[in-house]
């Protein structure tokens, strides 16, 4: 039997399962295979392989590997909880970007219980259970199996398919679509992180459950590294740094709607200036559409039927309106307001639009999860043959933006879901997917394919950035949309005079600008590169008699566009230095009798290196270059 493994044809003398194939290929370590895809779909290792199957094994370092590893680990957590608290009722336990959680009804625990739970997990892992998939004939059979758990029965009733399964490990059986790892033996390190309350199915009118967050790894070294990263992340918490640096705040009077302070607005405006310079260079035009538009528009776009509960609405003169949760429909109206020729295509239309979405109060999280935010949206209208070039154009722009901030990234392509759940013809989907895939191949970066994970209206590319402490954030997205051009009957006049429907791409690179702001605060730990720093230069006076000279020097920097202020307080120089350092000030210039006499200053950088007396003009030349080139590294320091 021949199957394709990682694009290589492999022959087996007899029929094998995915697990047996992995063993024969010596892919047994967690870094090699903790999950398997067969013909683009995640499957259990027990799945028999067939002639011609395309097989991909995923190690723990692959996102799909982590997903299966952590989902299996969530069942271990639930098994431990039921051994310790038999009356608890498991509900759901999904994997997260980092780790997993499980929600339980009829359970009350505290931090003091974590060690006890971890010890029980160790016992379970030591028993090295194999995982077994159980398939039910129908919903009634599944509900009978989980008759003791009303939460599981409710989930079963909500399923729209007939294939319902559960997984067994030892005495523990849990409702689950899977897949799981073949054995629990690959889990070598396990840590309970925290507990919190969570409403059943995210509905504040439903029961409050106990949520337990945890993480697991195939070795203890990785767990230790993760815990160190968590400690570093606490120091970089953007909510705390934002307050310490006086960048923004959050008020009870406007939950989920941040207040940006003057120093924060310096960063905000620098980000927008940079973005707009990229748009100008990239051949975009920019528009601004109304924040509130009528119900009819949102019905036409489909948002009224599918997103209504997350929209803020109002009634004016007996007509219903909604504050926009996204910018797309407004751009459709703009495109439709004029006749377009094929000669205009591709037409790149950008909007830095202010949108509002209702998020449950318990989900709000600083700048990361808000109700009011700005999106750097753009919509590209083109002919089908232009898709590949346009994707390449977007990827080049993404690379420029992320690399400017020192943010490496990875790319993921999500393809067509089940055909019955999508719009558009087979030919349109093939052209669209080939255009995106061809552009990614041209780009030359490695990328992951998520088979069947695209939207109903088109395939997409997601861009995940990695910050300074190794966390991944999904910010950028490139989405091909065959739905809105159809719903809004968009057209262009082709070279033969016929009217044709354009292909449309959505794209956002910052994503939510507020969220990207928060990511940058944590990525840099508040120590911003000079070009976006809200505290670029501070001049410290030794005594009051040095104030006139300090202000004279400050004006030279201010005239060149720098954020420069003078600390002429009565505090000691040491205290002034400490205050400037707490504000992550890039450069501190101290002036005393000697500096006034020589028309110089004594330089200290924020890495606490004293550079001594410097010439003001020479310093100005260097920092202008650092700022204008958006350099991440100071010419005076080995640290940014």
Write out the catalytic residue numbers: 328, 357, 375, 377, 379, 460, 506
Contacts of 309 (CB under 8 A, 6+ apart): 358
Our CA dihedral for 452, 455, 458, 462, rounded to 10 degrees, sits at -80
Whole-angstrom CA distances from 596 to 156, 542, 556 are: 79, 11, 15
Helices (H), 159-301: 220-235, 238-244, 262-281, 295-301
Between CA 174 and CA 542 the distance in angstroms is 70
3-state secondary structure 413-452: EECCCCHHHCCCCHHHHHHHHHHHHHHHHHHCCCEEEECC
Residue burial 383-419, b: 16+ Cβ < 10 Å; e: rest:
beebbbebbbbbbebbeebbebbbbebbbbbbbbeee
Between CA 22 and CA 34 the distance in angstroms is 10
Q: Is 449 exposed, middle or buried (0-12, 13-18, 19+ CB in 10 A)?
A: middle
Alpha-carbon 247 to chain mean position:
22
Contacts of 219 (CB under 8 A, 6+ apart): 30, 188, 189
Hey, which residues does 168 pair with through a beta bridge? 132, 173
Hey, which residues does 315 pair with through a beta bridge? 320
Contact 258, 514 (CB under 8 A): yes
Between CA 289 and CA 350 the distance in angstroms is 11
Between CA 81 and CA 84 the distance in angstroms is 5
Whole-angstrom CA distances from 33 to 66, 222, 445 are: 10, 17, 23
Between CA 532 and CA 405 the distance in angstroms is 10
Pull the structure tokens for residue 542: 């030794």
């Amino acid at each position: 039997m021949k199957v394709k493994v990682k694009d290589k044809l492999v022959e087996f003398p007899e029929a094998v399962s995915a697990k047996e194939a992995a063993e024969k290929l010596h892919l047994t370590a967690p870094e090699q295979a903790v999950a398997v895809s067969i013909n683009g779909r995640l499957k259990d290792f027990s799945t028999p392989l067939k002639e011609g199957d395309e097989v991909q094994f995923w190690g723990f370092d692959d996102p799909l590997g982590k997903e299966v590893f952590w989902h299996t680990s969530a069942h271990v957590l639930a098994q431990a909880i039921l051994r310790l608290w038999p009356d608890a009722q498991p509900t759901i336990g999904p994997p997260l970007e980092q780790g997993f959680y499980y929600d339980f009804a009829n359970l009350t625990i505290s931090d003091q219980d974590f060690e006890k739970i971890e010890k029980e997990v160790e016992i379970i892992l030591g028993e090295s259970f194999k995982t077994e998939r159980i398939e039910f004939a129908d919903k009634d059979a599944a509900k009978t199996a989980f008759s003791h758990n009303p939460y599981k029965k409710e989930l079963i009733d909500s399923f729209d398919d007939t294939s319902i399964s559960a997984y067994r490990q030892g005495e523990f059986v849990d409702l689950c679509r899977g897949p799981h790892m073949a054995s629990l033996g690959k889990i070598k390190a396990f840590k309970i992180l925290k507990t919190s309350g969570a409403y059943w199915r995210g509905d504040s009118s439903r029961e409050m459950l106990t949520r337990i967050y945890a993480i697991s790894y195939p070795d203890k070294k990785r767990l230790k590294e993760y815990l160190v990263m968590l400690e570093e992340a606490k120091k970089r918490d953007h909510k705390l740094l934002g307050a310490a640096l006086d960048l923004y705040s959050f008020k009870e009077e406007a939950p989920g709607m941040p207040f940006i302070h003057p120093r924060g607005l310096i960063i905000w405006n620098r980000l927008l200036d940079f973005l707009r310079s990229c748009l100008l260079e990239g051949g975009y035009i920019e528009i601004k559409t109304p924040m509130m538009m009528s119900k009819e528009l949102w019905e036409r776009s489909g948002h009224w039927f599918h997103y209504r509960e997350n929209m803020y609405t109002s009634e004016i003169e007996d007509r219903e309106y909604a504050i926009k949760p996204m910018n797309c429909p407004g751009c459709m109206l703009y495109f439709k307001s004029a006749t377009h020729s094929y000669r205009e295509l591709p037409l790149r239309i950008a909007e830095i639009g202010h949108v509002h979405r209702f998020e449950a109060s318990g989900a709000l999280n600083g700048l990361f999860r808000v109700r009011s935010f700005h999106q750097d949206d753009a919509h590209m209208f083109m002919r089908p043959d232009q898709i590949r070039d346009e994707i390449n154009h977007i990827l080049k722009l993404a690379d420029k933006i992320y690399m400017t901030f020192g943010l490496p990234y990875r790319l993921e392509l999500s393809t067509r879901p089940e055909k019955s759940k999508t719009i558009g013809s087979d030919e349109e989907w093939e052209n669209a997917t080939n255009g995106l895939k061809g552009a990614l191949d041209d780009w030359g970066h490695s990328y992951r394919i998520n088979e069947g994970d695209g939207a109903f209206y088109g395939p997409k590319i997601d861009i995940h950035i990695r910050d300074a402490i190794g966390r991944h954030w999904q910010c950028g997205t490139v989405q091909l949309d065959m739905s809105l051009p159809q719903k809004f009957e968009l057209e262009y006049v082709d070279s033969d005079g016929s009217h044709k429907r354009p292909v449309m791409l959505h794209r956002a690179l910052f994503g939510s600008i507020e969220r990207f702001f928060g990511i940058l605060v944590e990525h840099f730990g508040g120590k911003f590169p000079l070009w976006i720093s809200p505290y670029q230069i501070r001049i410290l006076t030794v005594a009051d008699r040095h104030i006139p000279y300090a202000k004279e020097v400050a004006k030279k920097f201010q005239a060149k566009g720098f954020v420069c202020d003078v600390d002429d307080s009565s505090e000691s120089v040491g205290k002034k230095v400490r205050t400037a350092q707490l504000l992550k000030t890039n450069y501190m210039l101290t002036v005393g009798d000697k500096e006034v006499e020589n028309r110089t200053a004594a330089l200290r950088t924020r890495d606490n290196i004293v550079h001594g007396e410097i010439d003001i003009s020479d310093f100005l030349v260097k920092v202008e270059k650092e700022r204008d080139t958006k350099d991440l590294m100071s010419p005076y320091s080995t640290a940014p």
